[in-house]
Amino acid sequence: MRIRPAVPADLKQCAALDHNYSTERVWQMNRREDNGEVVVSFHSVRLPRSMRVRYPRDPARLWDDWRQWDGFVVAEEEGYIRGYLGMQSHPAEQRGWIRDLVVGRPYRRAGIGAALLRQAMEWAGELKLLHLTAEMQSKNYPAISFCEKHGFHFCGFNEFHYPNQDIALFFTLRLL
């Protein structure tokens, strides 16, 4: 497998990957107000059965994303794209953002996501960024577990981040 910068001809294969996922757990948010204090907490909840979840972004918009991202790398094997990672840098914040990390369903749990993440960490290091932040749906327990396994820590959320009204969770990794 080879990790390399994406070229426009890769976008069709990237968009064709199965972006959706299945999960047996979710992060549930609890919010309450008590005497002027807002208390928000998250906890992992096991679902009664596995749930198939749609990816929150339209893969057909990859062309627009590719033009806006600072970095877009693909995992290629035997001439086929198996996964991709899209990144943006925010030098003033000394932070890199992973906007999309997608591995096609048949190729998951084979080290492709980890290889793409290593490339993102190398990219962030070259830019002398101090943090790498990833976003995901609160339903995306596989991505949450992946980030935690690779040293990322929960750092925030946005209730109105995705068009489908799913909560976005943010996990960050300190690089230096």
Domain of 154, CATH number, reads 3.40.630.30
pLDDT in tens, 9-31: 999 999 999 999 999 999 999 99
Q: Which of 27, 23, 33 is nearest to 45 (CA)?
A: 27
Per-residue pLDDT, 164: 81
Could you tell me which residue, 173 or 165, shows the higher pLDDT? Answer: 173
Per-residue pLDDT, 6: 94
Whether residue 30 is contained in a domain is answered as no
Task: Indicate the pLDDT class of residue 110, thresholds 50, 70 and 90.
Answer: very high
pLDDT in tens, 40-92: 999 999 999 999 999 888 888 888 888 888 899 999 999 999 999 999 999 99
Per-residue pLDDT, 58: 82
Per-residue pLDDT, 160: 86
Identify the three-state secondary structure at position 15.
helix
Per-residue pLDDT, 65: 81
Question: Average pLDDT, whole number, for the chain?
Answer: 93
Domain that holds residue 135: 2-20+56-174
Whether residue 45 is contained in a domain is answered as no
Per-residue pLDDT, 45: 96
Whether residue 40 is contained in a domain is answered as no
Sheet arrangement for strand 71-77: 2-5, 71-77, 80-90, 95-103, 131-137, 168-174, 153-158
Per-residue pLDDT, 150: 97
Whether residue 64 is contained in a domain is answered as yes
Buried b (16+ CB within 10 A) or exposed e, 130-147: ebbbbbbbbbbbbbbebb
Give the mean model confidence (pLDDT) for residues 104-130: 95
Per-residue pLDDT, 67: 82
Q: How many folded domains does the chain comprise?
A: 1
Whether residue 163 is predicted with pLDDT greater than 90 in this model: the reply is no
Whether residue 118 is contained in a domain is answered as yes
Whether residue 94 is contained in a domain is answered as yes
